[in-house]
Amino acid sequence: MADAAAFDHTTPREARYDQLEMQCAALLSDPDPVANQANFVALVNMAFGWHWLGFYRVLNGELVLGPFQGPVACTRLFKDKGVCAAAWSRNEAVVVQDVDAFPGHVVCSAESRSELVVPVRDSEGQVRAVFDVDSDAVGDFTQVDADRLQRLIDGVASRLIEESIPGHA
């Protein structure tokens, strides 16, 4: 467990994504998806230290706040408004270089300047949650971040969600 803290912040992001991939599967071994979401968020935060990062879960047609690190955040997000909703409805990662330029962006923290949201899918490809990361710098995320985070999430998605939860759709 102590090894999980050993991220070298002077190494390029790609190397830290590699490290995350190696550590994630072993760390997320609990049968409880919330426990695993909590440790996933903490681990990614240790690797990158972004302004805010966390999960929103699809529950009864809304996105409901899950485990996160950073300032307090909006507890519920709704369809068709904001970056998280866009990733949910498009079922793909959404990179926003400047949140002020994204129509409908939902402001949870005034310090967030750029954002990346990645869908968490079940075995049928349905979006069951999204993983949202916010940076206090404009243009902090690229398609490489989107691809690497998506790969990381896809690799452990079955440990981050329950396959069958009433009301998830």
Catalog residues that contact ligand SME under the rule CB under 6 A. Answer: 52, 73-74, 77, 82-85, 105-106, 108, 112, 115, 132, 134
Distance CA 54, CA 33 (A): 14
Distance CA 65, CA 76 (A): 6
Among residues 47 and 116, whose Cβ is nearest to ligand SME? 116
Nearest distance, CB of residue 129 and ligand SME, angstroms:
13
Chain residue at closest Cβ approach to ligand SME: 82
Nearest distance, CB of residue 169 and ligand SME, angstroms:
19
Distance CA 139, CA 108 (A): 18
Among residues 19 and 160, whose Cβ is nearest to ligand SME? 160
Nearest distance, CB of residue 36 and ligand SME, angstroms:
20
The DSSP letter of residue 60 is: T
The 10 Å CB-count burial string (b at 16+, else e) for 32-60 is ebeebbbbbbbbbbbbbebbbbbbbbbbe
Nearest distance, CB of residue 56 and ligand SME, angstroms:
7
